[in-house]
Amino acid sequence: MEAAELHPAQVIVRLGEARTVDLVGAGMTAQRRYDVRHSGTLRLAEAALEGVDLRGSALGTARNGAYVTSEIELDAHFWRVVGLYLAEGHASLAKCGTGRVAWSFHPHREDHLVEEVIGFWCRHGVEARTTRRETTHQVTVASRLVHAWWTRVLGLAGACHRQRLPDLVWDRPAGDKWALLSGLWEGDGSWSLINGGPSVILELGTVSRELADGVHRLLGELGIVASQRTGRTAKSTVDTYWLRIAGAQQVERCMALVPERDRPGVKASIALQAKRIKPTGYRTFGPGPAWARVTAAEPEDFRGQVYSLEVPGSHTIVTTKGLICQQCFPKDVSALKQLAGNSGYHFQLLNAVIEVNELQKRRVIGKLQKHLGSLVGKRVALLGLAFKPETDDMREASSLVLAARLLADGAAVSAYDPVAEDEARTLMPGVQFADGPLEAVEGADAVVLVTEWKEFAGLDWQAVRERMTGDLVVDGRNALDAAAVRAAGLAYDGVGTR
């Protein structure tokens, strides 16, 4: 209702005479109570005052349009209708407030799709009308409420060039995702034989770049690797984005994208392949994303917004054509060094950056030896293990180098990280993991801050001093309050400080 910008007084609720006959009718005139009880309808504002349970009711606007059931099950049939809309649909809102959601099919060859869309809405008590014209056979639902739910809640566009996948689909089970894709493919997709067969390829074309990228990513979540190319058909003023699925095993898994009437032929053709060769350009390692081989990189001039993104959790960004970019500075630096080497260029500044980064990981060992002497038999507590705070990413984490070196020098190592412990346990054998920072420093000769989690800055350093055997705190990130640490009777040593 909010999405449709309607006041509760503008929405009519159909409950049926059996449910309205016993309404109290608070605030209603006698005539109004009579009308409500005998018509089985009342306004939403009146229903709210009565505390009416709207489940099983139908909703409509005060002007006109189809009535919509208060509950629509988001089953596989629903998602297939959404897929057909992505391929063949459009939506509009007239100045008078009437909203329309429509599907346009071939005037004669796609009557089965017309019946499928009508059947879905009829099962939910929603009136859907059909109109057959010379060039199209159209299904239309005229409802301001359906239009608002379809475009503003689900996020479906009103025109093909702005179309996109609804956000809701990403949290749906695999069966619903396949249902959406099957509807989309039957509307805008095709299959064909490569060079006359028996190899089969599945293709989908759309003028919406956002939809193409979304479908590419959705296929990837289902374990299907598609290729993408961009082209412009004759007399077209916009680009078309083509997705292709190849490889016998992939096509077999994508049989839901092939119309039922064509599946026997596709299966028979694939069965004739004596030798199956996987599509080149990528490799899979069990479940999860596929690894693509980059064969070339072509720089292009660009003028526009440039974004620096910090993505919590995964630290990845899905970009155009389904490519996943990983945020990791050390890997980026190493990759840039490799590119420079391949071009015959000695990148002295970059090499210096890498050397300094590696030196910093080992400098803490020198500080510990300066204060403690030999590390044999000493106990060192590491606070924080992840590559950086607010993540469980252990790749290139300095704690890996530091813990390995301490253990090799004969020290006992205890550690605590609020997030990365599970991953760290698989990478740091020999380290004793604690449930909290105070437990980690129990009996320690020295404490090292490795990752600057916020909770470490607010530690009770007097409690830390009471738990420790020694008194050394090495601040590997210069993130602690040195005065507060020293006030607790501890010796503070930071990076680049004395």
- Looking up residue 405, the CATH number of its domain turns out to be 3.40.50.720
pLDDT digits (tens, 9 = 90+) for 61-96: 755 556 767 678 889 999 999 999 999 999 998 877
Residue 149 included in any domain = yes
Residue 147, pLDDT > 70, answer yes
**102 shares a domain with 56:** no
User: Average of pLDDT values for 340-357?
Assistant: 72
Does residue 413 sit in the same domain as residue 485?
yes
In a domain, 303, yes or no: no
Q: Which residue has the higher pLDDT, 46 or 470?
A: 470
Are 217 and 237 in a shared domain? yes
Measured CA to CA, the distance from residue 281 to residue 294 in angstroms comes to 8
Same domain, 490 and 381: yes
| 409 DSSP assignment | T
The domain boundary, picked from 276, 310, 340, lies at: 276
Residues 82 and 152 in one domain: yes
| Domain-ending residue, one of 235, 250, 276 | 276
pLDDT of residue 122: 87
pLDDT for 100-131, tens place per residue? 899 999 999 999 999 999 999 888 888 889 99
Same domain assignment for residues 153 and 212 = no
Range of the domain at 27: 2-69
Same domain, 186 and 249: yes
In a domain, residue 305? The reply is no
3-state secondary structure labels for all residues of 350-361: HHHHHHHHHHHH
CA atoms within 13 A on the CB side of 315: 13
Asked if residue 471 and residue 454 are part of one domain, the reply reads: yes
Q: Rounded to an integer, what distance in angstroms lies between the CA atom of residue 227 and that of residue 223? A: 13
Residue 196 pLDDT:
84
Distance CA 243, CA 228 (A): 5
**Whole-number percent of the chain with pLDDT over 90:** 40
In this predicted model, what pLDDT tens digit does every residue of 440-467 receive, in sequence order?
999 999 999 999 999 999 899 999 999 9
- 129 & 182 share domain: no
Q: Would 402 be classed as within a structural domain?
A: yes
> Which pair of structure tokens corresponds to residue 79?
């998602």
Q: Is residue 168 part of a domain?
A: no
Q: Helices in 328-384 by DSSP H: which ranges?
A: 329-342, 348-372
Structurally, the chain folds into a number of domains equal to: 4
One domain, residues 37 and 143:
no
Question: Domain of 112: which CATH number?
Answer: 3.10.28.10
| pLDDT-wise least confident of 189-198, 227-236, 315-324, 460-469 | 315-324
Spatial contact of 97 and 61, defined as CB atoms under 8 Å apart = yes
Long-range contacts of 456-460 (CB under 8 A, 24+ apart): 456/383, 456/384, 456/480, 457/481
Residues 395 and 490 in one domain: yes
Which of 408 and 351 is assigned the larger pLDDT? Answer: 408
Task: Evaluate whether residue 262 is within a structural domain.
Answer: yes
Question: Can you give the pTM of this predicted structure?
Answer: 0.60
328 lies in a domain? Answer: no
Let me know if residue 318 belongs to a domain: no
Q: Which of these, 79, 72, 283, lies nearest to 170 by C-alpha position? A: 79
Answer yes or no: is pLDDT of 351 > 60: yes
pLDDT of residue 80: 95
Same domain, 141 and 263: no
Q: Which residue, of 223, 247, 276, is where some domain finishes?
A: 276
Residue 183 has pLDDT above 50, yes or no: yes
In sequence order, the 6+-apart residues with CB closer than 8 A to the CB of 155 are 164, 166, 167
Q: Which residue has the higher pLDDT, 168 or 45?
A: 168
Q: What angle, 0 to 180 degrees and rounded to 10, lies between the N-to-C axes of helices 329-342 and 348-372?
A: 140
Alpha-carbon distances of 265 from 4, 181, 187, 190, 271, rounded to whole Å: 46, 20, 19, 14, 10
